[in-house]
Structure 1
Amino acid sequence: MKTVRIVSAALLLAAWGTAWSQQADQCPTLPSDSGLHWEQQTQSAFIVCKATTGDGRAVLNLMLTTRDPDLLLNRSLRAEKGTFAGESLHWYKLDMGGRDLPGLESRRITTVKLDKNRFAQIWIDAADTGELGNLQNLTQTLNLSPSTLAGANQE
């Protein structure tokens, strides 16, 4: 069941690619030298920010929500430690039902409780482990103000 939930969340974020707007008013500011730009989708209870490269490859997804994503992450899949918005976290390798698929070594997922009724789910789909490290470092620099979820309705 845990595997299905992780895979489902990752696939859901990837599938939203066609429904994005080019406006990114509520996504955290990306460093100007990152070569990335945000595409944003806002729904009633969440904001999804998708960072893409100049050639359109999605490498970083960030969902900010007022609801706990309730994503069960298997402790045995823990990888690197990190931080996001001042909160400590563990990055997790994706579990594809025990299958060793190409590219999995450079993909990670995590969730962070920012405060009461504020959560972030982050998914990285890097081309290689070098880009993975760069994207993990980039996520540590993203600044989330308390108003970042202003567009998401509190429920």
Structure 2
Amino acid sequence: MKILHALIFLGLSLTAGIATAQSAAKCPALPESSGLQWQEQSAATYVLCKATAADGREVMTMMLTGRDPDIPLPRPLRQEKGNFAGESLYWYQPDLGGQQPPGYATRRMTVVKFDKNRYAQISLYPSDASELRALQALSQGMNLNPSAVAAER
């Protein structure tokens, strides 16, 4: 009987620990000076972080996952070099099947593997070239180390 009680207690403890871990924020900290706020959506296999500006515009999305998103990034769409989480990368214009909606010239996306089985798919939706540079610099400075993210909050 004592073993049964111990197993039930252990199960409840593990369930509480999992619920606490899932409720903790998983998006990297944004500097207060950026004026951006994350809207976070979590699932079992990914975390989706959407950064919105004070005027409500979505300016960045970041999907953090343990699986390679396997998005084709054709060389002709390659734009600027950059860094993310200590890894070198290229920013690409998104392939929209030949469509070029307003703001297309400054839209960027990338996929980067930044740790063993950890990927970030980042999309930027700036209003102009100046905001593009600011968002690229912001993403370059993000810390995805879980202990550092918790300490920054």
Output the aligned Cα RMSD: 1.6
Report the counterpart of residue 50 of structure 2 in structure 1: 50
Contact 1:109 1:122 in 2 (8 A): yes
User: Runs of 4+ in structure 1 displaced over 3 angstroms?
Assistant: none
Does residue 32 of structure 1 match 2:32? yes
Deviation (angstroms), 1:71: 0.6
Higher mean alpha-carbon deviation, 30-39 vs 98-107, is at 98-107
Q: What are the equivalent positions in structure 2 for 1:93-104 lying under 5 Å apart?
A: 93-104=93-104
Alpha-carbon distance in 2 for matches of 1:24, 1:139: 21
Report the counterpart of residue 133 of structure 1 in structure 2: 133
Alpha-carbon distance in 2 for matches of 1:83, 1:136: 9
Report the counterpart of residue 121 of structure 1 in structure 2: 121
Deviation by residue 1:48-85 (Cα, 9 ceiling, x = unmatched)? 11110112111011100011101111011000000000
Report the counterpart of residue 66 of structure 1 in structure 2: 66
Alpha-carbon distance in 2 for matches of 1:59, 1:24: 23
The structure with higher relative contact order (CA 8 Å, sep 6+) is 1
Report % sequence identity.
54
The TM-score, its normalising length taken from structure 2, stands at: 0.78
Q: Residue 90 of structure 2 aligns to a residue in which SS?
A: strand
Deviation (angstroms), 1:32: 1.0
Alpha-carbon distance in 1 for matches of 2:90, 2:24: 27
Structure 2: tracts of 5 or more residues without a match: 1-22, 149-153
Higher mean alpha-carbon deviation, 98-107 vs 37-46, is at 98-107
- What is the letter of the counterpart of residue 144 of structure 1? L
Alpha-carbon distance in 1 for matches of 2:93, 2:146: 29
Q: Residue 102 of structure 1 aligns to a residue in which SS?
A: coil
Higher mean alpha-carbon deviation, 83-92 vs 111-120, is at 111-120
Deviation by residue 1:7-45 (Cα, 9 ceiling, x = unmatched)? xxxxxxxxxxxxxxxx87111010110000111000010
Give the greater-gyration-radius structure (CA). 2
Structure 1: tracts of 5 or more residues without a match: 1-22, 149-155
The TM-score, its normalising length taken from structure 1, stands at: 0.77
